[in-house]
Amino acid sequence: MRHFCFVIFFFSFSISAFCQQDFTVACIAFYNLENLFDTIDSPDTDDFEFTPLGPNVYNSAVYYDKLDKLSKVISELGVEVTPDGAALVGVSEIENRTVLEDLVRQPALKNRSYQILHHDSKDARGVDVALLYQPKYFTPDTLIYHSLVTSDPGEEIKYSRDILVAVGSLNGEQIAVSINHWPSRRGGESRTAHLRNAAACFNKNILDSLTENNIVDKTIVMGDLNDDPINDSIRKGLRSKRETTDLDKDDMYNPLEDFYRKGLGTTAYRNAWSLFDQIIISETLVNDNSGYRFYKAAIHNPSYLIENSGIYKGYPFRSYSNGSYTGGYSDHFPVHILVIREKK
């Protein structure tokens, strides 16, 4: 392998289409795991908050309860149509490889033999993105890591989470998947927009170079983008469109934009929903019927993932509230798509 530096709405899939025709189905998902740290204070990162002596009293009991809960959620993604669940799961807000190794060993996931693609980024808090994959469905070939600088010229250099691009074979078909957690809106949406615009352009340039050099034909951008589907980073930077009918060759399709237009979201703040967690696909995954093609998208938000009381009622059932562990899951809902192809 090569390495380079308040609406409650549950979506389910009908499997009738797959009963009527002979399709191979793959589920591809993304989930922000909301500060999945280990309990050890790292001298190289600002992680004291998530240690036993820190303000969150983040101890082993909390850690293993959180692992159990997150593994339950991941185990459910896509099982309505594919018993093995998600073939690929992009994740964000994880501290290191160790927490992922502990996650995939949880009883709900251990039989799937998820493997891990991960690289420690230069983010000050030490949080990263990663890709979990089932080797029976996906074989990685090339990994590309791109560091995102968030400091302005003349300032001390600061970094956000890396972009991870994994190129590999999904059941024999080459694809590229980009995993992201773009710079936050801290300091104001407009003041930080240029950072997310830059992240979008980096994504598009990397993926376009792969297709132009005939390495892959089908590409996917997923992640917590800290922007909604209508923001410039996504509409202009990724060349994302809402409809499949007017896609040009270099465009991408955002199947979650319709969800956003209906007032649905994956995270909430000050009584407003945002749909920051997205999976955006290349035009070829819509129009090329020779292999895998897009079928459906979903926000996974069953009732147990929704806070049912208090100031966050109706929000995603988060792990921490006002510095106390709630026994929740994440402050984000996961999203996933199904891609299908006819069996030969």
- Burial letters for 210-223: b for 16+ Cβ neighbours within 10 Å, e otherwise? bbeeeebbbbbbbb
- Span 13-342 CATH architecture: 4-Layer Sandwich (3.60)
Tell me the pLDDT of the chain averaged across its residues.
93
pLDDT tens-digit series, residues 6-61: 333 444 444 445 544 688 999 999 999 999 999 999 988 999 999 999 999 999 99
pLDDT at 17: 52
Q: At what angle do helices 97-104 and 60-76 cross, to 10 degrees?
A: 60
pLDDT tens-digit series, residues 200-214: 999 999 999 999 999
Q: What percent of the chain has pLDDT over 70?
A: 94
Could you tell me which residues come within 8 angstroms of residue 217 by beta carbon, excluding any fewer than 6 positions away? 174, 211, 282, 284, 288
3-state secondary structure of 154: coil
In whole angstroms, how far apart are CA 92 and each of 118, 130, 181?
Answer: 11, 7, 6
Contact in structure between 252 and 282 (CB atoms under 8 Å):
yes
| Tokens 């997205």 -> residue | 278
**Where in the chain are the domains?**
13-342
pLDDT tens-digit series, residues 82-128: 999 999 999 999 999 999 999 999 999 999 999 999 999 999 999 99
Helices (H), 213-239: 232
pTM for the model: 0.94
| Tokens 């070829």 -> residue | 284
